[in-house]
Structure 1
Amino acid sequence: MDLSRYSSIQSQVDNIKENMFSGVDPYLFISPSAYDTAWLAMIPDPHQPSQPMFENCLDWVLNNQKEEGFWGECDAHGMPTIECLTATLACIVALKKWNVGIIFINKGIAFVRADTEKLIREMNNHCPHWFAIVFPSMVELAHTVGVHLVFLDGLSTVASELFIKQQQILEKEKLADKYTNPPLLSYLEALPASYDIDQDDIIKHLSNDGSLFQSPSATARAFMVTGNKKCLAYLISLVQRCDNGVPPTYPLDEELIKLCMVNQLLRLGLAEYFVQEIEEVLAQVYRNYKNQESWEKPSNSVAEQLFKDSLAFWLLRMHGYDVSSDSFCWFLHHEDIRDQIQINHEYFSNAMLNVYRATDLTFSGESDLQDARSFSKKLLEKTTSIGTRNQTHIEHELRLPWLARLDHLEHRRWIEDHDANVLWMGKASSHRLSCPHNSELVGLAMHNFLFRQSIYKYELEKLKRWSKDMGLSDMGFGREKTTYCYFAVAASSTLPYDSEIRMIVAKSAIVITVADDFFDMEGSLIELKGLTDAVQRWDAKGLRGHSKIIFDALDNLVSELASKYLQKEGRDITKSLQDIWYETFDSWLTESKWIKTGYVPSMNEYLETGMISIATHTVVLPASCFLKPSLPNSKIKPVHYENITKLLMVIARLLNDIQSYQKEKDEGKMNFVLLYLKDNPEADIEEAIACTREILDKKKKDLLQHVLIDGYSDLPKPCKNLHLSCMKVFQMFFNSANRYDSNTEMLEDIKKGIYIPLEVGTSKPLKPLSLYSGEKKTYQTVKYEINQPSKNFKGRSFGVARVSLPALRYHGHGKTFMLPKVRLSFA
């Protein structure tokens, strides 16, 4: 282990814990909305109409323009999004209204002129509902304050289409139609002057807190139109709570923010460093879940509530809490809510994606979860068919089942994702993790991923040497799967398994692969019986050639495990290990006899032997003896296996058989799918596969319940999680093809998991940034730490730089913050 790199990671973890989990205001985790902050900056002081009422909002606009000239949150690679177009126009209007920041206005106009066409065309002919409403109105509003936007030739058609679509929406939708989400009135600030709205209509739809649908921008406009005191009280409360830019929605559900933070830690592969913090959040959420009464969900927050409830269900169930599917399937029992979701499927796409993810954790008999999965899948497919911003996320979820994904690769995908900091969609912009906090988390995740890669490369080379020394990699027949075996165990889970566990599992899998191939394709019946008898006696006398190599490798492995266990626990498990391996060899011998004698077993007889010959228990149970807490010795003895282990054995066998039936038919071997056809001659292959999948689906749901819910298995939690990891490995290998037998199918995944560096955006160098034309810059000395080499900091790991304070404000807030390439802190 690279102790210096691990120490650096631990230092980052400690810093994040101090800055993010020590009673910090949850609102600091959400990035301010430039669009909404600009609208508050436009409000004149009733007592001094020539001055802004909320000067700190105007200051925020002045201090937070990006170097490229736009306002708003960019994606995780630092690139502007279409949300930045509307935010930039709103900020330009606010500055123009008070005649300040002429340099910023000009830079903003230059950005809009240069990038509008590109950003709009990147939508691939799919214009979000909110953008069609807001963008044309922001263009018109800019014109009213004297900002004339001359777009590039060729954009006029695109822009005119947006104005036409806006008009169609305004003609079609009612102000507060309960089926339109969010309602049209929540876009009050973006409704054109020609759209006549009575002040009484506005006041009638104010919430009890004085807001218009909890939208700061809409409420700002409502106050400017009506002067309503409740609106004013809401706005003052908002600015007092969020004095550094306001969020897209207020008030925010603070519990939802915390759930999103936990989700972010898990998705980035950082959960192992924040076990206590995650548990504290989930324990509080569970207490609230147990104490809450059933209530009618308010129609104007259905999307957010459904997003939260489904996310909470997934997180709680994944962490062993017994939560009912009713906690988020309530929407199925309200026809008006289902209609609302179907009509506004684009707006509900994030919520439906969370619903779909939650149904990954379905147990047997939970029909409402099946219904929720079907409903959400249909809506997500409809959404992707017309295009959506989170299309890649949705397509990934629909294409590849959760059980077929390896955690290590999922973490890489999340780290590299352009929108990894997007939490949920608001009215006109996404709720995002604040730049400083998300950058710190992503920086830590990058360090952690690269650290894991370095360990994996070292261990794999060590494993290859062992395999070669034992003679297993040069047998001259069968499959050489040393790399596959190691990659599968290393990438399948984020649990803090040490090197010992990974090597035990990988070595066991290698021996199993070689021995299984020897029984299938190389050894004569006499040789196979001789090897099996030798394993029963645990004596290599009389063995030679391939049989001797396999036995010696097995003896080396078992002796190593028994010796380590005796040293750690003071007990000898040699006999238990030998027995479980003999049981496996004996099942291979039985299957070989069937093939060579032409015997056709019954389906039950085949499965009783086949669940042993797949050898998942031979890998998982011995390795579990080295977990903390460890597996009791009695649990690895044949006929004493727990139900969870038996479920894993059957699942792995059926997964293999579904993808291997044609190959095994050609080789004259037995297979569950083929035996079904024999017993049901009227059935075709599709029916046989469907029947096998039905059995398999129920077994997987049962295993999930045994793993996730306390009380269904006596095994320690780490052991249950290792069972789940093993099931995921087999699902990955046999999800849509037999990837394990392929020499090429796994290569790209292996490269990404172990060898290829992360592909993330490069930060631009820090440059001084003036707040006002001619303003004298104030400099601050800062320390920096380079996470990866870049063209701006070649060959230096640490150093000191001088940057202007405005530049610091532009890049983040607080004493310490992380950019994708450079970590800065006040010296």
Structure 2
Amino acid sequence: MPDGASSAPLWWLALQINLQLASYKLLHTTGPAYRELYLTTREELSLETYCDDDEDGQARHEAHGGIPPAEGPPQLGQAPLGLATPLMNDAVLASVTRGMGTQHSKSISSGTAATTRKQQLQQVDVLQNMGISRHFAAEIKCILDMTYSCWLQRDEEIMLDVETCAMAFRILRMNGYNVSSDELYHVAEASWFHTSSPEGYLNDTRSLLELHKASKVSISEEESILDSIGSWSGCLLKEQLISGALQRTPLIREVEHALECPFYATLDRLEHRRNIEKASYLSCYTNNEILALGVRDFSASQFTYQEELRHLDRWDEHHKLDFYSEQVEIVFSAIYTSVNELGAHASLLQDRDVTKHLVEIWVDLLRSMMTEVEWRISKYVPTAEEYLTNAALTFALGPIVLPALYFVGPKISESVVKDPEYNELFRLMSTCGRLLNDVQTYEREYEEGKVNSVSLLVLQNGGSMSIQEARREIQKPIDTCRRDLLSLVLRKEGAVPRPCKELFWKMCKVCYFFYSRGDAFSSPEEKAREVDAVVNLPLQLKGSNASLLLPVVL
């Protein structure tokens, strides 16, 4: 991650811009083959009856002809994006049409349905974990609307089952529903007597795992209930790992992953790959039809990413101008060309000229970098507030995220760009990223003569605070920024459209991904392998699932 003019490789800025935009290149209309797969999965979601019976749900379906809106993948009856074979072959389609079309046809509201609320939430979780939930947005909304209604009524089916309660809380909150962590009070209280209660959910690994996941979606420092749940559930899960109780169970890998990588420190597409490859043990709701769609969707996205990366080659085609150095020449040429090209495309999509704003974003970055250089030359030591205000800009997320907002879909007026919410989203994201960087790069920056929040905190305390103590202290504002950002992203009100808000959150996750366990930007080997897994490496499926893999023509 860039942290100054001398350490901000242009390829990194370009790569992040392209990867942010690449997922939106899959916005095409759906074909007949996808309709078949969609209808089968819809029945799997138990939506055939109650979703259509709901007046609003029926209107939503009719609005797009009974199939998902045009935010699906390339046509699944054809072979777009260079795929060697159609995204859905005849064998899979036959399996889909024979699938579970009648298994869940009864209304869940009738009380006689085979599918419980827990099973529906598990199904939603599977679709989201595989990265294919967008294809069934209307159906998932029906499930979550009904679950939210039950939540408000404190329905026993949800509240009395700890796993269901924790899962409902997590999924509802992350999908923008206003759910209070106070409703988990009965679970938090149970922690006081878990040592004397050998039976029950406290020894149920799945329940503990769901509780631990739920504790991570905190949006306020005042949610002490979630902190409590996260603390003791994490301890109990670690105890189970140490004792060997999970050694021969498929859950061991899920528990290890949840403890090591909270959701805010993971990359979505890397998680989608992992979940697709580990589908055999993740959930009983990962059937072949859903897995087939996940495989084909991921393969299509890989081709898109590869196409985007090929465009980076043209950044080397710079003209020979009279510059101070070859590096300056390359940087200027690339920025100048990129800003004008992005501005032209964005202006066309937005129906107004936004190039000036893109230029201002770069000017703000360069000015803040110049301030940093002037401080270093004059040996000026800024206050903590001065440093963080400027350093949040030099972290260089502005040119990565802000231009990408114009390509997400919604129209962004000039008033939105000037709205306090827009600026606060950017501030929280940038501050969180900068502080994560500072904690991990203190030694290197100290050797380079740079100040950062760690050294300033030690200096502010007259040297009485150690480096490790300063790092732990800075973790507090990091957590606060992350929570405040998530709260702002999930809030339904506001000037900034939700799809645009999500880009700020996803970039925050990228920062955690790079800096939560070290300075991966300066030592990129491990992360390069993980990025390669998203962009280039084919999926690895075992056993009978291997037949779902299709070759990709490059």
TM category (shorter chain) comes to 0.7 to 0.9
Q: Does 2:153 match 1:291?
A: yes
Cα deviation, residue 307, structure 1:
0.7
Per the normalisation by structure 1, the TM-score is 0.52
Counterpart of 1:404, as a letter, is A
Count of residues paired in the alignment:
460
Alignment of 1:287-436 (within 5 A): 287-292=149-154, 305-334=161-190, 338=194, 343=199, 347-364=203-220, 365-387=222-244, 388=246, 389=249, 390-417=251-278, 419-420=280-281, 422=283, 432-433=284-285
Cα deviation, residue 295, structure 1:
10
**Higher percent of residues as helix:** 2
Alignment of 1:395-544 (within 5 A): 395-417=256-278, 419-420=280-281, 422=283, 432-433=284-285, 438-463=287-312, 465-470=313-318
Give, in whole Å, the separation in 2 of the partners of 1:344 and 1:409. Answer: 34
Cα deviation, residue 756, structure 1:
1.7
Partner of residue 650, structure 1: 431
Q: Does 2:452 match 1:702?
A: no
Give, in whole Å, the separation in 2 of the partners of 1:462 and 1:332. Answer: 52
Cα deviation, residue 409, structure 1:
1.1
In the superposition, relative to structure 1, how do residues 339 and 326 fare at CA in structure 2: closer, same or farther (>3 Å)? farther
Give, in whole Å, the separation in 1 of the partners of 2:158 and 2:298. Answer: 44
Give, in whole Å, the separation in 2 of the partners of 1:315 and 1:747. Answer: 31
In the superposition, relative to structure 1, how do residues 710 and 684 fare at CA in structure 2: closer, same or farther (>3 Å)? same
In the superposition, relative to structure 1, how do residues 573 and 405 fare at CA in structure 2: closer, same or farther (>3 Å)? same
Post-superposition CA distance 1:10-51 (Å, at most 9, x none): 555422332242497699xxxxxxxxxxxxxxxxxxxxxxxx
Counterpart of 1:411, as a letter, is H
Instruction: Identify which of structures 1 and 2 has the higher relative contact order when contacts are C-alpha pairs closer than 8 Å and 6+ apart.
Output: 2
Q: Please list every run of 5 or more consecutive structure 2 residues that lacks an aligned counterpart in the other structure.
A: 1-21, 49-102, 105-111
In the superposition, relative to structure 1, how do residues 764 and 281 fare at CA in structure 2: closer, same or farther (>3 Å)? closer
Among 42, 64, 88, the alignment partner of 1:21 is: 42
Cα deviation, residue 344, structure 1:
5.2
Give the conservation status (yes or no) of the 8 Å contact 1:259–1:311: yes
Give, in whole Å, the separation in 2 of the partners of 1:557 and 1:336. Answer: 58
Give the conservation status (yes or no) of the 8 Å contact 2:169–2:179: yes
Q: Does 2:123 match 1:275?
A: no
Counterpart of 2:151, as a letter, is Y
Give, in whole Å, the separation in 1 of the partners of 2:479 and 2:163. Answer: 26
Give, in whole Å, the separation in 1 of the partners of 2:241 and 2:346. Answer: 53
In the superposition, relative to structure 1, how do residues 732 and 751 fare at CA in structure 2: closer, same or farther (>3 Å)? same
Partner of residue 5, structure 2: none
Counterpart of 1:381, as a letter, is K
In the superposition, relative to structure 1, how do residues 578 and 728 fare at CA in structure 2: closer, same or farther (>3 Å)? same
Give the conservation status (yes or no) of the 8 Å contact 2:454–2:471: yes
In the superposition, relative to structure 1, how do residues 689 and 11 fare at CA in structure 2: closer, same or farther (>3 Å)? farther
Give, in whole Å, the separation in 2 of the partners of 1:9 and 1:599. Answer: 59
Partner of residue 236, structure 1: none
Give the conservation status (yes or no) of the 8 Å contact 1:409–1:752: yes
Cα deviation, residue 416, structure 1:
1.3
> SS of the residue aligned with 2:352?
coil
Give, in whole Å, the separation in 1 of the partners of 2:212 and 2:162. Answer: 11
Counterpart of 2:147, as a letter, is V
Partner of residue 550, structure 1: 331
Which structure's CA Rg is the greater one? 1
Counterpart of 1:551, as a letter, is F
> SS of the residue aligned with 2:216?
helix
Cα deviation, residue 631, structure 1:
2.7
Cα deviation, residue 578, structure 1:
1.7
In the superposition, relative to structure 1, how do residues 296 and 359 fare at CA in structure 2: closer, same or farther (>3 Å)? closer
Cα deviation, residue 550, structure 1:
2.0
Give, in whole Å, the separation in 2 of the partners of 1:399 and 1:8. Answer: 39
Give, in whole Å, the separation in 2 of the partners of 1:644 and 1:601. Answer: 24
Give the conservation status (yes or no) of the 8 Å contact 2:158–2:168: no
Give, in whole Å, the separation in 2 of the partners of 1:563 and 1:643. Answer: 27
Post-superposition CA distance 1:166-201 (Å, at most 9, x none): xxxxxxxxxxxxxxxxxxxxxxxxxxxxxxxxxxxx
Give the conservation status (yes or no) of the 8 Å contact 1:579–1:637: no
Give the conservation status (yes or no) of the 8 Å contact 2:150–2:158: no
Identity of aligned residues (%): 27
Post-superposition CA distance 1:675-696 (Å, at most 9, x none): 1011111110111001111111
Post-superposition CA distance 1:676-724 (Å, at most 9, x none): 011111110111001111111111111110011223x421101110000
Alignment of 1:741-752 (within 5 A): 741-752=522-533
Cα deviation, residue 413, structure 1:
1.0
Among 102, 116, 119, the alignment partner of 1:257 is: 119
Give the conservation status (yes or no) of the 8 Å contact 2:201–2:207: no
Per the normalisation by structure 2, the TM-score is 0.76
Q: Please list every run of 5 or more consecutive structure 1 residues that lacks an aligned counterpart in the other structure.
A: 28-240, 243-249, 423-431, 473-539, 766-785, 791-827
